[in-house]
Structure 1
């Protein structure tokens, strides 16, 4: 049994390929199927099964496209109510590919329809693909289905389901069982995940809080406390994954490119997302544009695009170069927003604005002369303020917070490290033209 783990770093998502005797199974594949096809080609393997542990909230899966292009059947729980061709896969069901047997365990908690998939080879080696149920150091959050389509599962009920899952569902598995989760540190599907990409069940039984001897009430209280915010795209992705997404390559090719464009549209009427670096944005940008940086894999562009832009809301995208077109569209398509892109734009030097850079030394001397806006998440703010008199407005809520922002002083926006504050500054600048708006950026670290 050959196991290949794929990592989508910006979304902290892991997907898997398992190969045995020329047959390949995929688990929770990302939107772009190409890496799996390339692996199959290298190993001369036939993709023979696609397993979905649940309808994902934070990314769009390529399960339906892979099924259409390879003929591989899709396996998922009957509880999903999937609207794509599939085989139900629940407690007691098995699928044999080569010398590997895949077994289903229904493990509700993160969602009512979550699965954990056990793979066992001829040497009795056991591996569990735990989806969003068991993470390394944590378990999946139970509060993502309250706003997802027609799902109205209450978080308390799912938290209790997770308690039962952790107490009863894995007891028959040995400590040597290798644990491969669907997410790692940085994902919004949990709150305290390890940076490790795998573990063993024995280690998790020793170290993971969810295996401790807690009462149901204690477990529920702990799992519901301090969960991260829920981006607006999460419910949209659950619904899309229950239907099955359109072809990835066709989707990213559709938006037109306006090369070195004049400002020929009214940005007051159409949302403009500028993905360039903060420095490039500050030098020149279109009026009313929002700077969501997508320069490296460390930038959480996908998450913040889906948190700030609403599902089905049309928007333009400003690129640094025509060479960035494919990469940016791939990142947008990961969360199913590619159809919302009206067109892609590169800028000339006409009719553009610039942003003034904060004089940090002056700021240090007279902080009371500025209104401070803290755009960190609520859970971060609760752990401690950086500036005592700051007004906390999480970044995902900022577009709707005009009335909460005073305009009697210049405004300084900050976060924990500088990425989100660049976006926050651009949003607040669009909400008011009465005062100057500055980004404290990475200089915030000197005040921690």
Structure 2
């Protein structure tokens, strides 16, 4: 019995051992799984470390890029700064000298610091033919004699000052498409505080006491540029109401200047065309008179056919050359040579007295007046006028010859027989041009 019990115990023990072995096997499997999990974790950690490493490299690259961007921004700021300095230098270089204007535009007992007119400065520039640049002589706020400026460098280059003219309120819109006129008006206390919007002050008109320039317009206002800096008003500008006629007298004293370009040869050779290369570019071109008549006699190539204007205080002829050309000489033939002495000839692109005046006819040889230019003048129109100053008179023309460095003596060779090439480059019968 005892042996049987022992065997049963041993059998139970073997079963227990078997269970233990299974448990151990399960434990080993669990350990194996844990090791695999740990291995996966290590791999994940390794991947994470690689990702972190890549992230650090990316961050490093970003920092380098940021550094490059900062350097570029710094360079850009330096360039902007240089550009602003250049703009400032250019503005100063292009500025006319205010001190010479004050010293020379008024009698010595008066100076413009206590008030003056822009027309006085313009008149000085026109008569003297000069005005220094700010870069040559910086402004110094002290009165001095005008004579000291005669030896100073002239800041006006490649330009001729023609004159200044009054603009009426009705013509101001048209004037603003071509010029920037000056204006004087009445400043009242509220104008100093102007910020923006349309200004409508000056309930009681007083005498004008301040000058500005008018730079634009809209149906409701005139756009004005002031001289008090960009911190005043709307960045230095103001809008004057047009709903009240001549508010603050803003349109009562509007004046504008006419300045034309002229090549004085500062940087090249004078534009002189050899005589042998000159050709008549006026032949068969369109001429009209002050009375509105078409004057074919003036450019038909026949000196025996002549035309006289109607009596007028300002008789003239207008010749359209059809295209811009460099004019070197003008010849005018007339059967009444004494009547053309004192008349003026202009060349330009307008066809009126505002074009460049190239000469005044002072003498006539036989029946011919000749104007020779030291340098050629470019233009597409000739304007020949006599301003009598009140008395009436006529101008008589038999032929106008405009000698230039381009064009053909006979510009009709490619036109059908009996026709000429008109100023619009179309072939027609002469009387139809």
TM-score class, shorter: under 0.3
Radius of gyration: which is bigger?
2
TM-score, normalised on structure 1? 0.26
